[in-house]
DNA sequence: AATACGGGGCA
DNA sequence: TGCCCAGTATT
């Protein structure tokens, strides 16, 4: 058994570094409960740099719980469009309605945990950052930092296993007097210094406590077995009629729920499929989709599929589409309006 | 306990 | 191209 990390010295080094190194993120420079909640939802599985423009636009459109609660779901999804993991947007919308209906928002991690879209990480983040509750957050950054501090080569096939593995250590190291600052400092360290590739160990404020860093092997931790990507080919249909485009809305349980996309060929078995207009790639978790968009003609009688609907051109910008389909629809719309120009509508 | 869920960024 | 990112809900 190795010597435990001396928690007081560790906290002092970490918090001293964080005070001078923290990025001036908008939810830090102008903090509030609502802004913290929105930032945590947006940052789930999404890099901060990607979140920033969405966060700014979101705050313009939905400045507080009440305005978000009052919005239509389609409007909410449209604002989230391009961020991915759209269940986050639907859950955040439901959460806003729940909070708006309360006398006062919850103030403990356990209460927040019961709200939609709030798991162990987000409950701990909100409770510690906003309400000063002494609960540690264990996200991807923290797992990486702790695995390197202890040079722990345990393989973690899932993040859940890693969270359980490090729960005790995370609690022991947490600064109970400044849990919000401490938690953000750990994540900031993982995001800016203790990064996955080529960590900056020479600049690390806790390098004297780090077993992996001192032996020059930080990049070897944590050990995460990888999963192969599966390739899938799909044909989607471009069907225009009377200035409207035929789109399909995501199913009740499937992915891209309540977002619109170009309909799959299987959705319209009777359609007459014509020329190939465009092929594009998109990744969804461990699937790599290649989608081939063909011009097509609708069958004389449309199937009674309630997920299908004709969307007039002028309404396309106000409905939620998936990110790739937004780009493809815009380009193809311009292309067909130009009478099918010769040039490539999708310059790389 | 495993699996599904998006899309962008980077080496 | 493959891997990662301030995770959660569902089966």
Rounded Cα distance between A235 and A249, Å, is 16
Query: On chain B, which bases lie within 7 A of the protein's CB atoms?
Result: 1-11
Residue A220 CA to chain centroid, in angstroms? Answer: 26
Q: Which residue is nearest to nucleotide C4 (CA to C1')?
A: A196
Residues A134/A184, Cβ–Cβ less than 8 Å = no
Residue A15 is predicted with a pLDDT of: 98
Instruction: Tell me the CA–C1' distance in angstroms for A45 and C4.
Output: 9
Residue of A12, A40, A133, A241 marked catalytic: A40
Instruction: Tell me the CA–C1' distance in angstroms for A274 and C8.
Output: 41
Q: Which residues contact A158 (CB under 8 A, 6 or more apart)?
A: none
Query: Among this protein's residues, is A188 annotated catalytic?
Result: no
Rounded Cα distance between A311 and A319, Å, is 9
Q: What is the mean pLDDT of chain A?
A: 91
Mean pLDDT of A150-177: 94
- Asked whether the predicted pLDDT for residue A252 surpasses 70, the reply is no
Helix axes A48-61, A73-80, angle to 10 degrees: 150
Mean pLDDT of A95-122: 97
What domains, with CATH codes, occur in chain A? 7-220 (1.10.340.30), 230-337 (3.90.79.10)
Q: Which residue is nearest to nucleotide C3 (CA to C1')?
A: A226
- Asked whether the predicted pLDDT for residue A340 surpasses 60, the reply is no
Nucleotide with C1' nearest the A137 CA? C6
The closest of A251, A301, A250, A241 to A271, measured between CA atoms, is A301
Instruction: Considering only residues A305 and A91, tell me which one the structure prediction assigns the higher pLDDT.
Output: A91
Nucleic strand B within 7 A of Cβ A120: no
- Asked whether the predicted pLDDT for residue A255 surpasses 80, the reply is no
Nucleic strand B within 7 A of Cβ A46: yes
Residue A338 is predicted with a pLDDT of: 62
Mean pLDDT of A251-276: 84
Instruction: For tokens 């309400």, name the residue.
Output: A131
Nucleotide with C1' nearest the A119 CA? C8
Nucleic strand B within 7 A of Cβ A119: no
* pLDDT-based confidence at residue A43 (cuts at 50, 70, 90): very high
Instruction: Tell me the CA–C1' distance in angstroms for A13 and C11.
Output: 44
Rounded Cα distance between A64 and A62, Å, is 6
* pLDDT-based confidence at residue A348 (cuts at 50, 70, 90): very low
Residues A64/A99, Cβ–Cβ less than 8 Å = no
Q: Using alpha carbons only, give the angle A6, A7, A8 rounded to the nearest 5 degrees.
A: 100
Mean pLDDT of A277-301: 88
Residue A162 CA to chain centroid, in angstroms? Answer: 20
Number of H helices, E strands in chain A: 14, 7
Instruction: Tell me the CA–C1' distance in angstroms for A9 and B5.
Output: 40
Rounded Cα distance between A331 and A347, Å, is 10
Percent above pLDDT 70 for chain A: 95
Nucleic strand B within 7 A of Cβ A110: no
Query: On chain C, which bases lie within 7 A of the protein's CB atoms?
Result: 2-11
Q: Which residues touch strand C (CB under 7 A)?
A: A 25, 27-28, 39-40, 43-48, 85, 87, 91, 116-123, 125, 139-141, 144, 159-160, 184, 187-188, 190-191, 196, 224, 226, 228-229, 253, 283, 288
Full DSSP string of A282-343: EEETTEEEEEEEEEEE--SS----TTEEEEEGGGGGGS-B-HHHHHHHHHHHHHHHTTS-SS
Strand (E) or helix (H) holding A281: strand A272-284
Instruction: Tell me the CA–C1' distance in angstroms for A297 and C5.
Output: 41
What proportions of chain A, in percent to the nearest 5, are helix, strand and coil? 45, 15, 35
Q: Is A154 helix (H, G, I), strand (E, B) or coil?
A: coil
- Asked whether the predicted pLDDT for residue A249 surpasses 90, the reply is no
- Asked whether the predicted pLDDT for residue A345 surpasses 50, the reply is no
Residue A227 is predicted with a pLDDT of: 75
Q: Is A42 helix (H, G, I), strand (E, B) or coil?
A: helix
């Amino acid at each position: 058994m190795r010597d435990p990390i001396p928690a007081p010295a560790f906290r002092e080094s970490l918090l001293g570094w964080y005070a001078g190194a923290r990025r001036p993120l908008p939810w830090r420079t102008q903090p509030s409960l609502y802004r913290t909640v929105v930032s945590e939802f947006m940052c789930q599985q999404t890099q901060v740099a990607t979140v920033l423009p969405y966060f700014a636009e979101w705050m313009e459109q939905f400045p507080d719980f009440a305005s978000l609660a009052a919005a239509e779901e389609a409007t909410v999804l449209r604002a989230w469009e391009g961020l991915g993991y759209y269940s986050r947007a639907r859950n955040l919308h439901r959460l806003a309605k729940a909070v708006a209906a309360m006398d006062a928002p919850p103030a403990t991690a356990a209460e927040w945990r019961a709200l939609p879209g709030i798991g162990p990480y987000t409950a701990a983040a909100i409770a510690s950052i906003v309400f000063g509750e002494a609960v540690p957050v264990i996200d991807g950054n923290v797992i990486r930092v702790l695995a390197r501090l202890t040079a722990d080569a345990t393989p973690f096939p899932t993040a859940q296993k890693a969270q359980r593995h490090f729960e005790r250590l995370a609690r022991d190291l947490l600064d109970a007097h400044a849990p919000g600052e401490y938690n953000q400092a750990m994540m900031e360290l993982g995001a800016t210094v203790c990064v996955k590739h080529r960590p900056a160990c020479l600049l690390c404020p806790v390098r004297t406590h780090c077993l992996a860093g001192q032996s020059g092997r930080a990049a070897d931790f944590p050990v995460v077995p990888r999963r192969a990507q599966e390739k899938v080919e799909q044909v989607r249909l471009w069907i225009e009629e009377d200035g409207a485009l035929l789109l399909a809305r995501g199913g009740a349980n499937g992915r891209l729920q309540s977002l619109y996309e170009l309909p799959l060929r299987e959705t319209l078995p009777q359609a007459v499929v014509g020329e190939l207009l465009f092929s594009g790639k998109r990744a969804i978790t461990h699937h790599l989709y290649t989608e081939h968009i063909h011009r097509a003609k609708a069958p004389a009688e449309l199937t009674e599929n309630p997920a299908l609907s004709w969307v007039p051109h002028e309404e396309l910008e106000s409905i939620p589409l998936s990110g790739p389909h937004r780009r493809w629809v815009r380009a193809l719309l311009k292309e067909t309006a130009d009478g099918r120009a010769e040039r490539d509508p999708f310059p790389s």
